[in-house]
Amino acid sequence: MPSYDEQLFHPGFFLGINQMLFSVKTVDSLPFIKWEQEQSPDIFADSLFVQSVTSTPTPGFTIGIVANLRVAKNLDFRFVPSLSFGERLLNYNILSYDEGNTQVIETQKSITSTTVDFPFLFKYKSKRLNNMRMYVLAGAKYSLDLASQKKAQKNSSDITVKIKKHDIALEAGAGVDFYADLFKFGIELKMGYGFFNMIKQEGNLYTDSIERLNSKVFMLSFTFE
């Protein structure tokens, strides 16, 4: 396929494995803030102190389509709409005081996401070597989380951490293309970092202990064009 990259436009699709997580910034002086029972009804104690909040990623998957437009000899513009499924965990380390007894409690809140992503990327390619070509890419994407409001609170003792639906992220990555007889196969690794603060503060310990919550996504994808 010696003239493949000379086409003005070509389509494709991709399959990916993602890892979603959060960059967490807690409120100032968090370990010294006292939380009352009403702010955490799922923990029975006279008072509570949050020591730390961290995020743990879990594997997910992504599917999408590729629309590639040739801009220059080694530069392409790509629109890559996709659908991603994943889960992020927020880990809370809490010190509780109940009738003179002290206890350290570790609890976890799950945030399930189903996002529709609309990335716009520039792809800069190296010189082709036989049937292989390296490349780097960068751009931005808009994300709409379809599952951010699905897990509503079932009762007053079951607090669900909710996030906002809309985000804009910067994306960057690198990959390699392999030219076969009938299609081009690519392996790509990229990272996305969201600009918007995603936490919805609702007056409880789990949301109000966080000042900023930014989305981060790592993805390994396999493209067929």
Listed residue (220, 218, 216) closest to 188, CA to CA: 220
Element (H, E) at 75: strand 75-79
Q: What's the pLDDT band for 150 if we cut at 50, 70, 90?
A: low
pLDDT for residue 156: 43
Tens digit of each residue's pLDDT (9 = 90 or more) over 163-215 = 999 999 999 999 999 999 889 999 999 999 999 999 999 889 999 999 999 99
Give the residue-averaged pLDDT of 126-151.
Answer: 88
25 touches 212 (CB < 8 A): yes
Query: Per-residue pLDDT for 155 more than 50?
Result: no
Domain total in the chain: 1
- As a whole number of angstroms, the distance between CA 194 and CA 196 comes to 6
Q: Can you give the CATH number for the domain in which 123 is found?
A: 2.40.160
- Please name the residues in contact with 47: beta carbons below 8 A apart, sequence gap of 6 or more: 34, 35, 36, 37, 96, 97
DSSP 8-class letter at 207? H
Give the residue-averaged pLDDT of 4-12.
Answer: 90
Query: Per-residue pLDDT for 152 more than 50?
Result: no
Alpha helices (H) along the chain: 205-208
pLDDT for residue 66: 97
DSSP 8-class letter at 6? G
Amino acid at 113: S
Give the residue-averaged pLDDT of 140-157.
Answer: 69
Tens digit of each residue's pLDDT (9 = 90 or more) over 44-92 = 888 999 999 999 988 999 999 999 999 999 999 999 999 999 999 999 9
Tens digit of each residue's pLDDT (9 = 90 or more) over 16-54 = 999 999 999 999 999 999 998 888 888 888 899 999 999
Distances (CA, A) of 137 to 35, 63, 111, 188, 199: 46, 19, 29, 10, 29
Distances (CA, A) of 115 to 31, 40, 66, 152, 220: 33, 29, 17, 18, 17
User: pTM of the entire structure?
Assistant: 0.87
208 touches 44 (CB < 8 A): no
Distances (CA, A) of 147 to 11, 85, 110, 144, 169: 29, 9, 12, 9, 18
Distances (CA, A) of 150 to 22, 41, 72: 19, 21, 44
Q: Which domain holds residue 92?
A: 4-224
- As a whole number of angstroms, the distance between CA 66 and CA 81 comes to 7
